[in-house]
Amino acid sequence: MNILLSPPPLLLLLAALVAPATSITTYRPDWNRLRGLARGRVETCGGQLNRLKEVKAFVTQDIQLYHNLVMKHLPGADPELVLLSRNYQELERIPLSQMTRDEINALVQELGFYRKSAPEAKVPPEYLWAPAKPPEDASDRADL
Protein backbone atom coordinates (compact mmCIF):
# COMPACT_ATOMS: atom_id res chain seq x y z
CA MET A 1 0.00 0.00 0.00
CA ASN A 2 1.48 3.31 -1.11
CA ILE A 3 0.80 6.28 1.09
CA LEU A 4 1.57 9.67 -0.34
CA LEU A 5 2.52 12.21 2.25
CA SER A 6 1.75 15.75 1.27
CA PRO A 7 2.45 18.89 3.24
CA PRO A 8 -0.49 20.47 5.03
CA PRO A 9 -2.33 23.07 2.91
CA LEU A 10 -1.40 25.88 5.32
CA LEU A 11 2.30 25.12 4.84
CA LEU A 12 1.88 25.24 1.04
CA LEU A 13 0.09 28.58 1.28
CA LEU A 14 2.83 29.99 3.51
CA ALA A 15 5.55 28.81 1.11
CA ALA A 16 3.72 30.38 -1.85
CA LEU A 17 3.48 33.70 -0.04
CA VAL A 18 7.09 33.77 1.15
CA ALA A 19 8.83 32.54 -2.04
CA PRO A 20 8.01 35.56 -4.24
CA ALA A 21 9.03 38.00 -1.52
CA THR A 22 12.43 36.39 -1.08
CA SER A 23 13.24 35.77 -4.74
CA ILE A 24 12.70 39.30 -6.07
CA THR A 25 15.09 42.09 -5.23
CA THR A 26 13.63 45.54 -5.40
CA TYR A 27 15.53 48.73 -4.94
CA ARG A 28 13.74 51.85 -3.79
CA PRO A 29 15.71 55.00 -4.62
CA ASP A 30 16.46 57.30 -1.69
CA TRP A 31 16.12 60.55 -3.63
CA ASN A 32 17.65 62.60 -0.82
CA ARG A 33 20.83 60.53 -1.04
CA LEU A 34 20.84 60.62 -4.84
CA ARG A 35 20.74 64.38 -5.26
CA GLY A 36 23.35 65.30 -7.85
CA LEU A 37 23.19 61.95 -9.65
CA ALA A 38 24.78 62.50 -13.05
CA ARG A 39 26.09 59.17 -14.31
CA GLY A 40 26.30 55.47 -13.59
CA ARG A 41 28.64 52.57 -14.05
CA VAL A 42 27.97 48.83 -14.01
CA GLU A 43 30.92 47.03 -12.46
CA THR A 44 31.21 43.33 -13.13
CA CYS A 45 33.50 40.40 -13.88
CA GLY A 46 33.11 38.42 -17.09
CA GLY A 47 33.21 35.12 -15.20
CA GLN A 48 30.37 36.23 -12.94
CA LEU A 49 28.28 37.21 -15.96
CA ASN A 50 28.41 33.70 -17.40
CA ARG A 51 26.32 32.38 -14.50
CA LEU A 52 24.00 35.39 -14.41
CA LYS A 53 22.20 35.25 -17.77
CA GLU A 54 19.78 38.09 -16.98
CA VAL A 55 22.54 40.52 -15.94
CA LYS A 56 24.69 39.41 -18.89
CA ALA A 57 21.83 40.18 -21.29
CA PHE A 58 21.51 43.67 -19.79
CA VAL A 59 25.27 44.32 -20.00
CA THR A 60 25.75 42.98 -23.52
CA GLN A 61 22.55 44.24 -25.14
CA ASP A 62 20.97 47.08 -23.15
CA ILE A 63 23.67 49.12 -21.43
CA GLN A 64 24.82 50.67 -24.72
CA LEU A 65 21.36 52.20 -25.15
CA TYR A 66 21.60 54.31 -21.97
CA HIS A 67 23.17 57.76 -21.91
CA ASN A 68 25.76 58.32 -19.15
CA LEU A 69 25.81 54.63 -18.19
CA VAL A 70 28.94 52.57 -18.87
CA MET A 71 30.33 49.13 -18.06
CA LYS A 72 33.57 48.67 -16.14
CA HIS A 73 35.21 45.24 -15.99
CA LEU A 74 36.63 44.41 -12.55
CA PRO A 75 38.07 40.92 -11.99
CA GLY A 76 36.13 38.99 -9.34
CA ALA A 77 33.47 41.68 -8.85
CA ASP A 78 29.81 40.83 -8.38
CA PRO A 79 27.66 42.93 -10.73
CA GLU A 80 26.71 46.28 -9.21
CA LEU A 81 25.23 49.52 -10.47
CA VAL A 82 27.36 52.35 -9.11
CA LEU A 83 25.64 55.74 -9.08
CA LEU A 84 27.96 58.72 -9.38
CA SER A 85 27.79 62.50 -9.06
CA ARG A 86 29.12 64.91 -11.69
CA ASN A 87 32.47 64.85 -9.84
CA TYR A 88 32.51 61.04 -9.98
CA GLN A 89 31.81 60.75 -6.26
CA GLU A 90 30.06 57.51 -5.42
CA LEU A 91 26.50 58.06 -4.23
CA GLU A 92 25.23 54.48 -4.01
CA ARG A 93 25.97 50.86 -5.00
CA ILE A 94 23.13 48.58 -6.02
CA PRO A 95 23.74 44.81 -6.32
CA LEU A 96 22.36 43.39 -9.58
CA SER A 97 22.98 39.64 -9.11
CA GLN A 98 19.45 38.80 -8.02
CA MET A 99 17.67 41.08 -10.48
CA THR A 100 16.18 40.20 -13.84
CA ARG A 101 16.98 42.06 -17.03
CA ASP A 102 13.55 43.72 -16.94
CA GLU A 103 14.04 44.78 -13.31
CA ILE A 104 17.43 46.33 -14.10
CA ASN A 105 16.01 48.20 -17.11
CA ALA A 106 13.06 49.45 -15.03
CA LEU A 107 15.42 50.59 -12.26
CA VAL A 108 17.76 52.44 -14.61
CA GLN A 109 14.81 54.18 -16.25
CA GLU A 110 13.25 55.04 -12.87
CA LEU A 111 16.55 56.63 -11.90
CA GLY A 112 16.18 58.84 -14.96
CA PHE A 113 18.80 57.47 -17.33
CA TYR A 114 17.78 58.23 -20.90
CA ARG A 115 17.28 55.15 -23.10
CA LYS A 116 18.14 55.78 -26.75
CA SER A 117 16.36 54.01 -29.59
CA ALA A 118 19.73 52.83 -30.94
CA PRO A 119 23.31 53.02 -29.57
CA GLU A 120 24.27 55.79 -32.01
CA ALA A 121 21.04 57.80 -31.61
CA LYS A 122 21.27 61.43 -30.46
CA VAL A 123 20.36 62.36 -26.89
CA PRO A 124 17.84 65.19 -26.44
CA PRO A 125 19.40 68.31 -24.85
CA GLU A 126 17.37 67.99 -21.63
CA TYR A 127 19.06 64.62 -20.91
CA LEU A 128 22.68 65.59 -21.66
CA TRP A 129 23.82 66.53 -18.13
CA ALA A 130 21.61 65.00 -15.45
CA PRO A 131 20.05 61.60 -16.05
CA ALA A 132 18.21 61.55 -12.73
CA LYS A 133 15.94 64.10 -11.22
CA PRO A 134 13.85 63.44 -8.11
CA PRO A 135 10.19 63.03 -8.95
CA GLU A 136 7.72 65.56 -7.57
CA ASP A 137 6.44 63.04 -4.98
CA ALA A 138 9.97 62.12 -3.75
CA SER A 139 9.01 62.38 -0.07
CA ASP A 140 6.76 59.30 -0.21
CA ARG A 141 9.25 57.32 -2.33
CA ALA A 142 12.32 57.66 -0.14
CA ASP A 143 13.52 54.64 1.78
CA LEU A 144 12.49 54.61 5.41
Beta strand ranges found along the chain (DSSP E): 37-44, 69-73, 80-85, 90-95
Q: Does any domain span residue 90? A: yes
* Confidence at residue 60, expressed as pLDDT on a 0 to 100 scale: 92
Q: Does any domain span residue 81? A: yes
Which CATH number do you get for residue 101?
3.40.30.50
* Confidence at residue 3, expressed as pLDDT on a 0 to 100 scale: 54
Q: Does any domain span residue 127? A: no
What does each of the 144 residues of the chain score in pLDDT, given as a tens digit? Answer: 555 554 444 433 334 444 443 344 577 888 888 888 888 999 887 767 767 889 999 999 999 999 999 999 888 888 999 999 888 999 999 999 999 999 999 999 999 899 999 999 999 888 887 565 544 544 444 443
The domain total for the chain is: 1
